[in-house]
A and B are shown apart, each in its own frame.
Chain A
Amino acid sequence: GAVVSQHPSWVICKSGTSVKIECRSLDFQATTMFWYRQFPKQSLMLMATSNEGSKATYEQGVEKDKFLINHASLTLSTLTVTSAHPEDSSFYICSARDLNREPQHFGDGTRLSIL
C-alpha cells in the first residue's frame, strides 16, 4: 500500500488563488521530504528539500516566496503555491525517506490546473 500520501490528487482554481498541497508519510517518520514539479512530457524537477522543524532548502531558480513549504511534524509537509497563475499549472509530487533507509517513497502527485 501507499506509504506516502498526497492530498488533493487534483485541483482546479482561479488565477490569484493560493493552493495548499499536503504530503504525509503514513507509516514512518520523515525528517526530510522533497517536492518536485513535472510538466507534461518532461522529467521531474526537484523544487525543494523540506526539513522538519527548519526552513526548506530551495533549488536554484525556485522562488521561495512563491512556493511556501512547511514541515511542522515528522509525518507532514505542505507546499503552498501562493497567488497561483496559469504558468504554475503542473504535476506536483512529494517524496519522503525513512531516515537512513531505502527506498525513497513518492506520493501519487497533485495535478494543479490554474484557470
Chain B
Amino acid sequence: DAKTTQPNSMESNEEEPVHLPCNHSTISGTDYIHWYRQLPSQGPEYVIHGLTSNVNNRMASLAIAEDRKSSTLILHRATLRDAAVYYCILRDRAGNQFYFGTGTSLTVIP
C-alpha cells in the first residue's frame, strides 16, 4: 500500500477552520483516500473518503489535488470535540486492509 505523510501535530483555535494536510506521492490510480479520526481510548471514527473529486459531508470536506499526490481534510469550524488524532489512509477499491500511519494530533485551543 502506498504510504502517506502527515504532520505529527497541529493546533487550531476553537471556531476557526482547520486544514489538515496529507502527502501521498506514490498513490496509484485505484487508491481511495480515507480519513479517520481517533479520540482517546476509542476506536477510529470514519470522517470522509474520496477518489478524485473534492468531497463534502456533514463532518468535513476533502480537497484532493489535481495530481492526487496530496489531499487536505478541512474542518470548517473546529470545536473542542474535534481534538483527536487524524489519520489519512490509502486503500485500493478492491482491498480491505487499512495500514495506519502516524497521523496528526490536532489540539483545539478554547
Contacts and interface: CB of A to CB of B under 8 A. Distances in A.
Check if A and B associate. Answer: yes
Interface of A: 4, 6, 32, 34, 36, 43-46, 49, 91, 93, 95, 97, 102-109, 111
Contacts of B34: 102-104
Given A43-B101, A103-B34, A97 B96 contact: yes
Contacts of A91: 41
B33 to A, nearest CB: 12
A44 B96 contact: no
A8 to B, nearest CB: 14
B21 interface: no
Given A43-B87, A102-B49, A49 B44 contact: no
A36 B45 CA distance: 14
A46 B97 contact: yes
Interface string B83-110: 0000100000000111111110000000
Contacts of B32: 102
A95 B43 CA distance: 9
14 contacts: A34-B96, A36-B100, A43-B103, A44-B100, A49-B96, A93-B44, A95-B98, A97-B96, A103-B49, A104-B34, A104-B96, A104-B98, A108-B42, A109-B41
Contacts, number: 53
Contacts of B49: 102-103
A97 B96 CA distance: 8
Contacts of B99: 46
Contact of A108 (B36, B43, B97): B43
B7 to A, nearest CB: 14
Nearest to B87: A43
Given A34-B96, A34-B97, A43 B102 contact: yes
Nearest to A32: B96
Interface string B6-41: 000000000000000000000000001010101001
Nearest to A31: B96
A93 B43 contact: yes
Contacts of B45: 106
